């Protein structure tokens, strides 16, 4: 099936992260994390526009200001109802295909994202994700605007609103789902940035591989094969702690119009 355009990559970002406050503006090789995420997604061959979806909180004024200074499109919406923020951002920019990325993934691989977009289009899927067999931090999801709209209308649990896509991937009877899987199990690796140890690890990777070029995950794997001691820096942090916490605190939420 032909790819439905425009393909809009939406990056959720806020300054009020709890484990590493203001992390999206933490520097890696002289540039903030958010710059690296945006810059790497702009190297995609299939994404038409990159948008930052931040909140209306005053603390996130700095993100909006950064976007303005760096020529990056942005949308401001709900702090806690991230699904609402995503859907309204997608509608604002006329998306027909949405790529969801979080701002704590400065090592996101545009080539891998393009594989997911191509698979989404070729298979006529509603949702294609980069599987958890890849390192944590390469996460991306490709979603049809129709599936996102249905989730926005029907998702009722707080965890489904906060984490955007659980309603979709928990309902395979309602949506056509697929995943891009890694040839080898790399799930033990943490390439995301949730705390200071993660930031140290990712900084070392950029310093070693080179921050002035858009490299790919295979380049990082080669670097780590020669520097395996770096994997110990953040190896004790559990994957998907935020979602697990949300499930423990789950409740039905009243959706706003």
Report whether pLDDT(257) > 70: no
Q: Measuring CA to CA, which residue among 203, 194, 249, 195 is closest to residue 230?
A: 203
For residue 157, being part of any structural domain is answered with yes
For residue 193, being part of any structural domain is answered with yes
What domain range includes position 230? 7-248
For residue 254, being part of any structural domain is answered with no
For residue 116, being part of any structural domain is answered with yes
* 87 close to 109: Cβ distance less than 8 angstroms: no
Per-residue pLDDT of 188-200, as tens digits, reads 999 999 999 999 9
pLDDT band for position 241 (50/70/90)? low
Per-residue pLDDT of 105-159, as tens digits, reads 999 999 999 999 999 999 999 999 999 999 999 999 999 999 999 999 999 999 9
Per-residue pLDDT of 166-181, as tens digits, reads 999 999 999 999 999 9
What pLDDT does residue 237 have?
81
What's the CATH number where 74 sits?
3.90.550.10
Pairing mode, strands 97-102 and 127-130: unpaired
Sign for the pseudo-dihedral over CA of 22, 27, 31, 33: negative
What pLDDT does residue 112 have?
98
For residue 53, being part of any structural domain is answered with yes
Half-sphere exposure for 70 (CA within 13 Å, toward CB): 20
23-46 burial, b for 16+ CB within 10 Å, e for fewer?
A: bbbbebeeebbbbbbbbbbebbeb
Share of the chain above pLDDT 70, in %: 93
pTM for the complete prediction? 0.92
Total structural domains within the chain: 1
Mean pLDDT of 158-165: 93
Give the DSSP H or E segment for 178: strand 177-180
């Amino acid at each position: 099936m032909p790819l439905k355009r425009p393909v809009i990559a939406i990056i959720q970002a806020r300054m009020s992260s709890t484990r590493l406050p203001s992390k999206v503006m933490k520097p890696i090789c002289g540039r903030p994390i958010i710059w690296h995420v945006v810059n790497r997604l702009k190297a995609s061959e299939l994404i038409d526009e990159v948008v930052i979806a931040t909140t209306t909180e005053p603390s996130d004024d700095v993100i909006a200001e950064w976007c303005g200074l760096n020529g990056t499109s942005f949308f401001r919406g709900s702090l806690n109802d991230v699904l609402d923020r995503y859907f309204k951002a997608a509608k604002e920019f006329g998306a027909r295909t949405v790529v969801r990325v979080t701002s704590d993934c400065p090592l996101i691989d545009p080539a891998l994202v393009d594989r997911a977009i191509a698979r989404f289009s070729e298979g006529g899927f509603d949702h294609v994700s980069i599987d958890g067999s890849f390192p944590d931090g390469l996460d991306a999801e490709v979603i049809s605007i129709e599936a996102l709209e249905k989730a926005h209308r029907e998702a009722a649990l707080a965890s489904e609103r906060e984490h955007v896509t659980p309603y979709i991937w928990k309902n395979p009877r309602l949506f056509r789902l697929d995943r891009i899987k890694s040839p080898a199990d790399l799930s033990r690796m943490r390439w995301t940035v949730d705390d200071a140890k993660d930031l140290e690890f990712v900084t070392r990777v950029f310093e070693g591989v080179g921050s002035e070029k858009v490299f790919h995950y295979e380049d990082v794997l080669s670097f780590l094969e020669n520097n395996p001691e770096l994997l110990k820096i953040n190896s004790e942090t559990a994957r998907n702690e935020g979602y697990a916490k949300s499930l423990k605190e789950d409740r039905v939420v009243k959706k706003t119009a």
